[in-house]
Amino acid sequence: MVAARITVNGKETPIAPASPHTTVLDFLRERGLTGTKEGCAEGECGACSVLVARAGVDKPTDWVAVNACLVPAASLDGQEIVTSEGLATAGEPGTPPALHPVQEEMAVRGGSQCGYCTPGFVCSMAAEYYRPDRCAHAEPAGGGDAGHAPADAEHGPNGFDLHALSGNLCRCTGYRPIRDAAFAVGTPAAEDPLAQRREQPAPAPVATEYAQGDAVLLRKNTLAETVQLLRERPDAVVVAGSTDWGVEVNIRSRRADCVVAVDRLPELRELHVGSDTVEIGAALTLSEIERRLDGAVPLLAELFPQFASRLIRNGATLGGNLGTGSPIGDSPPVLLALDASLVLADADGEREVPLADYFTGYRQSVRRPGELIRAVRIPLPLSPLVGFHKIAKRRFDDISSVAVAFALDVADGVVRTARIGLGGVAATPVRARAVEAALEGEPWTAATVEAAAEILRAQGTPMNDHRASADYRSAMLGQSLLKLYAQTTEAVPS
């Protein structure tokens, strides 16, 4: 088998002698690429952001920013990354490299002070710079400086989406000059090598068997090979984006004898919109799902901007979020409201399990040893009245205290069907069945909603912790239904 290696800034670099648990961050720093920094080691600050060449949606290759502190270097075997050092363009012999346009704007607009966070900002900004469908808006009336005249609070006149930087934190410069730099960048020049790289296919997945000491990271070519491997190694840890496992490795010093990467398995990366179901591969990243669905599932479209940060969504998957069994994951309430089911696969075949029957206890499920999530199925047609309310201390990039998802069908002023998913109020994500029963068949009126909201306040077994009190969680449950009613009564006949 060919030795594991990563193409870093255009140069093939062996992964050895790194451990299978060595992160991309440490792998780079050990090779002198110290622009990549560790700030939090859990995907919260973005100081470690790097670009990865991934199969594109609008072009053969997309440059995608990810948290290098979370991803095992061995899981990028055969793939291609660019660091902040690799963005600059080499000049004539004896002259320094020419700054990348993003680096140039950060410098001239005062976007860097201590500089610790700057390389991460630059990489995240570069990913947005190279986004194929980014396009400039019309000049503001009366002209003006494009760098200081945003199309709205979160989108620049150059089409730059500030949410691309939602996972990057700055502790000293302040965000205005960073925003100015983001809103000032133009479009990539025709001769830009990273822009040209988008026109060529991304590196194909390669089978990997990377072992050092007693630990090994494995990647198979097919689902059939993978589930057979999991039968032989039921102790293996399965990873896709590693946004959860990476935290366990960094913060809790967890190690596994065997890690199995499934993020590139083609059978787990399909997305089909049929006449009666939407089927989403468990290893598609949330960013890929968002772009490929393009609003076709409105409740998911409400979820995505509130799910962590763009950096996390570029790695996180539905399979991973459901596989951890966390009661505070943001996707389970939404998928419960969508009445989704999971396709579970092992060496004996596949079975379909309603998500409402999947969770059995705190971080426990009906998934058997050697079994993994292949896909999520959402039945069609979709309920037309939907809402996702995430109650958290920060608007973005935060863990929810309470998450509530609604999917209702209201016709002629009567609630025909109601599906409500809850997170953060019990040991597992739950369906609010008592509330659903209180709504179905009743008029969609203030009186009905207020009575159902009272029932909703008593759902689950909320607890007191550092994020919120039990009383607060209960209050927010009821308030969320009142909010949904207030937001939608103008559009729904009563």
Shared domain check, 288 and 255: yes
Q: Which of 156, 175, 203 is the last residue of a domain?
A: 203
Q: Which of 153, 178, 203 is the last residue of a domain?
A: 203
pLDDT digits (tens, 9 = 90+) for 475-491: 999 999 999 999 988 65
pLDDT digits (tens, 9 = 90+) for 202-235: 999 999 999 999 999 999 999 999 999 999 999 9
Shared domain check, 157 and 48: yes
Task: Give 138's pLDDT tier (boundaries 50, 70, 90).
Answer: low
Task: Give 22's pLDDT tier (boundaries 50, 70, 90).
Answer: very high
In a domain, 117, yes or no: yes
Residue 21 has pLDDT above 50, yes or no: yes
Range(s) of the domain holding residue 472? 390-488
Residue 144 has pLDDT above 70, yes or no: no
CATH of the domain at 343: 3.30.465.10
Residue 1 has pLDDT above 70, yes or no: no
pLDDT, position 149: 57
Lowest mean pLDDT among 32-46, 49-63, 264-278, 463-477: 463-477
- Report percent pLDDT > 70 for the chain: 95
Q: Which of 382, 407, 433 is the last residue of a domain?
A: 382
In a domain, 211, yes or no: no
Lowest mean pLDDT among 145-149, 246-250, 368-372: 145-149
Residue 50 has pLDDT above 50, yes or no: yes
Overall pTM > 0.85: yes
CATH of the domain at 17: 3.10.20.30
Shared domain check, 441 and 354: no
Q: Distance from CA of residue 3 to its chain's centroid?
A: 30
Average pLDDT along the chain: 93
In a domain, 493, yes or no: no
In a domain, 215, yes or no: no
Task: Give 109's pLDDT tier (boundaries 50, 70, 90).
Answer: very high
pLDDT, position 385: 97
In a domain, 21, yes or no: yes
Shared domain check, 361 and 252: yes
pLDDT digits (tens, 9 = 90+) for 250-289: 999 999 999 999 999 999 999 999 999 999 999 999 999 9
In a domain, 89, yes or no: yes
pLDDT, position 141: 44
Shared domain check, 235 and 107: no
Lowest mean pLDDT among 113-117, 133-137, 268-272, 359-363: 133-137
Shared domain check, 469 and 347: no
- Report percent pLDDT > 90 for the chain: 86
Shared domain check, 34 and 153: yes
Shared domain check, 420 and 283: no
In a domain, 55, yes or no: yes
Mean pLDDT on 12-37: 97
Query: Domain count of the chain?
Result: 3
CATH of the domain at 418: 3.30.390.50
Report the range out of 83-87, 143-147, 461-465 with the highest average pLDDT: 83-87
pLDDT, position 494: 45
In a domain, 350, yes or no: yes
pLDDT, position 89: 83
pLDDT, position 147: 45
Residue 153 has pLDDT above 90, yes or no: no
Determine contact, residues 359/325, Cβ cutoff 8 Å.
yes
Shared domain check, 345 and 234: yes
Task: Tell me, letter by letter, the H, E, C secondary structure of the chain.
Answer: CCCCEEEECCEEEECCCCCCCCEHHHHHHCCCCCCCCCCCCCCCCCCCEEEEEEECCCCCEEEEEEECCCCEHHHHCCCEEECHHHHCECCCCCCCCECCHHHHHHHHCCCCCCCCCHHHHHHHHHHHHCCCCCCCCCCCCCCCCHHHCCCECCECCCCCEHHHHCCCCCCCCCHHHHHHHHHHCCCCCCCCHHHHHCCCCCCCCCCEEEEECCEEEEECCCHHHHHHHHHHCCCCEEECCCCCHHHHHHHCCCCCCEEEECCCCHHHCCEEECCCEEEEECCCEHHHHHHHHCCCCHHHHHHHHHCCCHHHHCCCEHHHHHHCCCCCCCHHHHHHHCCCEEEEEECCEEEEEEHHHCEEECCEECCCCCCEEEEEEEECCCCCEEEEEEECCCCCCCCCCEEEEEEEEEECCEEEEEEEEEECCCCCCEECHHHHHHHCCCECCHHHHHHHHHHHHCCCCCCCCCCCCHHHHHHHHHHHHHHHHHHHCCCCCC
Shared domain check, 247 and 361: yes
Shared domain check, 44 and 110: yes
Shared domain check, 407 and 378: no
Residue 41 has pLDDT above 80, yes or no: yes
